[in-house]
Structures are given as C-alpha cells and as structure tokens.
Structure 1
Amino acid sequence: IELGDCSLMEQIQHYVTAGTVNKVKLSSSQWSVLIFVLLTSEQEMNVFKLKDFVGSQIKADEVLLKLLPVVKAYRSAQLNSCGVTDECCVALASVLRSNPSQLRELNVSGNKLGNSGVKMFSSGLENPHCKLEKLWLRYCEITDEGCAALASALRSNPSHLRELDLSWNKLGDSGLKQLCEGLKDPQCKLEKLWLRYCEITDEGCAALASALRSNPSHLRELDLSWNKLGDSGLKQLCEGLKDPQCKLEKLCLSSCDVTDEGCVALASVMKSNPSHLRELNLSWNKLRDPGVKLLSGGLENPHCKLETLCVTYHGCAALASALRSNPSHLRELDLTKNKLTDSGVKLLSDIRNNVDYKLETLR
C-alpha cells in the first residue's frame, strides 16, 4: 500500500468476495494480506465462519491458527463441523484470555475435541478477561471428565456465560452432577442449558433439582429431551421447579419416558405460587387422557402462566375446558401427530367464541 501497489490486496479481496479462498493454496504473504483485508473490511465483524476458509488445500487446525487475530476481532465464531481437533484448543483459550477480545459467541459443535480439548479451552473461560456469553459444544465427544472443567469455568469470577449447549455428548448422571455444582455457585449466571441425548436418568435429576433451588438461580431455559428420565426423574425435577428460588420459564422434555404418573407432579408445579413456567414441551411421551386432564387442571389454576404447551396424546375435552378457564394464559398449543378425530377438533373449535379464549397459535 505504501508503494502504491495494491494488486496483491485486490487479488485477495477478489477471492474473499467470490468465496474461493478455500480453493486456493495461499502463500505466507497472501495469508498476511488476507488477515489485513478481513480486519480492515468496512463490513461489521459479526460472524466469522471457518468453513469459508477450509478446503482440500489446507486443514481446519492450520487455518484456525493462521486466522486467530481475525477470530479475536469478531463477535461470533462459527467453527462447527470443520475438523477442528483438541490441538487448537490451547490457541482458542488464548483468544478467550486476550484483552480486548470481541468474541461473545463460540460454536465448536461437531468437532472431535474430547475431554482434553474442553479442559484446554476451559482455562480461557475462567480468565477474568473472557467475555464469552454463548458456547455450543454439540457432538464433541465430551464425557463426565470434561464436565468438571466446565463446572469450574461456571464458578469463575466473573462468569459471563449465559448459554451452554452440550447436547449429544455422553455426560451421564455423573457429568450432570458435576455441572450442577457449577450451576449452584453464586458466580454462575447461566440462563440457558441444552442437554439433549446426554444419557441422563432419574439419578441426575436430583442434582438438577438442587441447582434449580439454589439462591439465586439464573436458569431460565432447560432442555432435557431424549433422556431416560421417566416419572421418577420428573418428580425429582418438579421439587426444584416448585421452589420459590426457581425462575425456570421454558422446559423441554420430549421423549423422556414420561407417563400419566409424572403429570401429577407437573400439575402441582403449574399450580405453585409463583409459577414462572411459560413453555412446556411434553411431545413424544406416553401420555393419555388421565395425564392430560391433570395438566389441564393445572392450566385452569389462576397461578398458572403457561403460554405454550406441546403434548402427544389422544383427547381434547380436558384441554377445551382449560382454554375456557379465566384467566387462561395459553397462547400456543401444539397437538401435532395426535389421533384427535373430528369430535376432538370440534371441541376445540367450539370454544373460539368464549370471552376467555386467548389462543393465538394452534398446531
């Protein structure tokens, strides 16, 4: 630029604009120019996508190490399903520790980080300079061993992490218990936790209930779908949900082996004062009319503020009654994949003229 020769920069800008950087083998000087072009771009540095730069010519780890200055400057780094290994986690930890770092969202899902990788970059999460708010770790081959490091990061002072996705990892009950120790710490400010397909059973629910009762509890959204909680696990979880310290608003329990027996505890939660629950997903469980009647009884309670309900079952009469209740806060109802028949749909349709009917979305 000083010599007035911008040909190299124009060449790299062309690669970036055309989206062909990952198809070209760049020299060391071209990599330097690429970093300069990305850091001086007039576009807002919102999302960095590693996939745009990884190709047959160069592997993910090598690209990531070269572009660390760029990652540090972006608000969101999408490194998912790129072939990143645990070897790069030390470098990622250095980005999280750097001051200043603009990084607030990090997605490394679908990479073989394992426990060793999680331990490495958790050291960055614990650093006071780290301002990361959202972390996605789906399909990362993490077990209970890696949860200990993450729990330590959640206890760090201050902890800025607000969202954590550990779905499709083999955490098990022991991993969940360690994670809950972090959740209970006053320094932890986590608001959203996703734990789908994590091999959790009723044993882990006791620890989770304890975390929901902690003071203060910041958790607002919890997804435990496709875990074998059963009715016993749900009952333990409900003990935490009923506690005044619990502020949970969204609970997803799809395919958790819940039956009508578990609905007794859930109905009790819906009647509790105050009840903060606004969204409940019970799809793909073994519910029948008796269970839904119990839930409907909870919906009719003045303390219930539930706005979204997803269920899979076979009847509508109890729900129709609940929708006529005063006050009814329900705004969204999902009855997909059910055997309602015409008579069931008619029961729901006949209440539309009721003055207390507030439903806005029906699936």
Structure 2
Amino acid sequence: MRWCGFTEGCCGALASALSSNSSHLRELDLRGNDLHDSGVKLLSAGLQNPHCKLEKLEMRSCRLTEECCGALASALSSNSSHLRELYLCSNDLHDSGVKLLSAGLENPHCKLEILELGSCGLTEECCGALASALSSNSSHLRELNLRDNHLQDSGVKLLSAGLESPHCKLEKLEMVQCKLTEECCGALASALSSNSSHLRELDLSRNPLQNSGVKLLFAGLESSHCKLEKLEMRWCKLTEECCGALASALSSNSSHLRELDLRGNDLHDSGVKLLSVGLEGPHCKLEKLEMVQCKLTEGCCGALASALSSNSSHLRELDLRDNHLQDSGVKLLSAGLESPHCKLEKLEYGDMLIPHVLEVKKLPLPPLTGAEAAGFERRP
C-alpha cells in the first residue's frame, strides 16, 4: 500500500487486523503515507500482540520523528515480536530516536535482522548506541543501512568498535555519502581483520576516502580473518596510486572478495594495468568488476585481455561503460574472450546511454559506432 494517501487515521484498524488471532500477515509496506508518530504508536501496539506474525514492515517517507521510536523499541523488545525487517529511511528520527531504537535492539526478545535508517538526520552522536546494540550478545542484526547521514569519521570509529565485538553478527553495512574521509579507514580495516568479523558486504560510495584511506582498507582485506566478499567504492576520489595496494589485496591467498565496484574514480590505464596483475594472481577470486567512468582508453585493454585469458581468472562480469576504449581496445578485449581459460559471461562497454552488452560467451562483439568510435562525450 505504497503512496496511497493514508494518514494516521487508518493505523488503529491496521493494528486491530495485525493482532487478530486469525492474521497470517508477514509483510506490510506503507511507504510514502503520512502516518506520523501517532499512527506508528497505534501500529506498535498491534505489533506487541501475541497473535501478530508480522516479519517485515516498510515505513519509508512516512513523516516520522524521534517521538515514535520509543513505541517501536517497545514493539521490538516484546517477547511476542516476530519482526525481522524494519525500513525507516527518509524520516526525521535523528540521533535521539535511534538511541531509543538501539535500546530495543539490545533486548533479548528482539529478533530484528535488517534495519534501514538512510536519510534519517543522524550524526556521530548515535553511533555509540548503535555500536552497543551491535555488540550485544542478544543482537540478531545482519544488515544495517546508514546511507546519507552525517556520521563522519568519529562516528565510524565508534561503529567499528562494535563490529569487532565477538557478539556482532553484522554481514552487510551501507554508509554511502556519510561524510567519511581517510581518517576512518584504519578503524574499518581493524574491524574487517578482527577474528570475530562477519562482514560480507561493505558500501562506502560517495565518500572522499582518497588513496591514503583505501590503502589502509586494502591492508585489512589481506587479513586471514577478513570475510568481505563485496566492496563498493564509487566516486571515492581514488586514482591509479591505490591500484597496486588493491592488486595485492586481490591476489592475497586469504582474499574472499567476489565483487568490486570502482566506478567514478580516475584510475586511468596505468591503474588498470596494476589491477590486472592482481586479477591474474592464482588466489584472486573476483567474479564481478565495475569500472564505469574511470577515464580508461584502449591503453589498458591488452592488460585486461591478459587477465581474462589467465587460467586462474574467475571473472564472470566486467562493466567498462563510459570509457574511451574505441575499436582498437575492443579488438584487444576480443582476443582475451577467445581464450579457452576465459570465464567471462557478461561484458558491458560503450556509451552509458547506448551500451553494448554481451551476455553469451564467445559471441562476436558488436563494433563501436558513430560518436562512440570517435571518442564520445557524455550526453545530458
């Protein structure tokens, strides 16, 4: 029931339905309705009913504030709660609200596994409470989304302490556009290399981490305790200077990385040549690599082709859109695809607006044409 023009006036009836002893409802999506705090308080009463079986509740953009968080925390800590997923993005919960929610997460009756708090007006002030919840021995949280909040380095350092706790079970953490810099990367690397870390996915996109920061992060990836499988660093102000450290991390015999997104960074051909050496390493397990808009030319395509044709390569997907590869570069890539060792299943290149997508291995690549072959410019 997304964007249906509902208000708090319907929440009493919904709460009654949820608490009916004949209710089997497992998922409820109310995003984009003006429920306000008063509506959520009514809903929370229904969630605490022993007959309620709801497992997933979506309330993004519902005009909520910190005032409703106490009621939600009470519902989460109810001994009859079945809630596993809670989506609260784009509400003005602020730090005070998240502190109340965090108290509910620490309750031994709370079963929540996924919590989304993107664009909720948060700062570093709430990170201590979140870290405490993550390190609680009763926490079940597996996924946490904090994108578009001003957590800053000080907040991430607090969170990282929680990630290192032996009780923390978090597997996926999103901190896109959270005002982070290289200053927090050492703490994150320490968390990744902790012997109790469960993190499998980390998204740090749209933060100016720069080369100095990601070099620290890549050192954490080389730890035998690091279990990270997916790393997203789009538009993080990286250059070719960090690619040697990344190649070393990829070729480490303890690396578990399967997916890497580097789009929007100025890697240039020299950086990709360094990366390609890592891709050829016998220990590299990377299966998906995205390098959209990385200022590449045909100069890097020979190295990529060599990596693709390596007998140790595991690459299945490669995205090179919005780079100036030209026909000469595509011909070099084609030679790599013809190798019996090449495992690539999907290749994307050409213009962002008119991409070429090859999804069946060994098919001939369509040629670049028109503006693409001439070295296209991005269109609005």
The residue correspondences of 1:1-363 to structure 2 (distance < 5 A) are 22=6, 34-40=14-20, 44-51=24-31, 54-55=33-34, 59-72=35-48, 73=52, 74-311=54-291, 312=294, 313-314=296-297, 315-363=300-348
Q: CA deviation at 1:157?
A: 1.2
In 1, distance between residues paired with 2:14 and 2:119? 31
In 2, distance between residues paired with 1:331 and 1:148? 40
Q: CA deviation at 1:42?
A: 7.1
The alignment's TM-score, normalised by the length of structure 2, stands at 0.85
Q: Secondary structure at the match of 1:351?
A: helix
| Pair 1:345–1:307, CA change in 2 (3 A) | same
In 2, distance between residues paired with 1:270 and 1:152? 32
Look up the match of 1:6: none
Gaps of 5+ in 1: 1-15
Identity in percent = 53
In 2, distance between residues paired with 1:41 and 1:344? 65
In 1, distance between residues paired with 2:114 and 2:272? 35
In 2, distance between residues paired with 1:215 and 1:25? 50
Q: Secondary structure at the match of 2:337?
A: coil
**What amino acid maps onto 1:341 in structure 2?**
Q
Paired residues in the alignment total 338
Greater C-alpha Rg: 1
What is the CA deviation profile of residues 184-208 of structure 1, one whole-angstrom value per residue up to 9, with x for unaligned ones? 0000010000010011111100100
Q: Secondary structure at the match of 1:337?
A: coil
Q: CA deviation at 1:121?
A: 1.1
In 1, distance between residues paired with 2:218 and 2:334? 32
In 2, distance between residues paired with 1:210 and 1:167? 21
What is the CA deviation profile of residues 244-300 of structure 1, one whole-angstrom value per residue up to 9, with x for unaligned ones? 010100000111111111001100001111221101111100111111011100010
Q: CA RMSD in A?
A: 2.0
**What amino acid maps onto 1:139 in structure 2?**
S
| Pair 1:287–1:39, CA change in 2 (3 A) | same
Decide whether the 8 Å contact of 1:50 with 1:60 is kept in 2: no
Deviation larger for 196-205 or 37-46 = 37-46
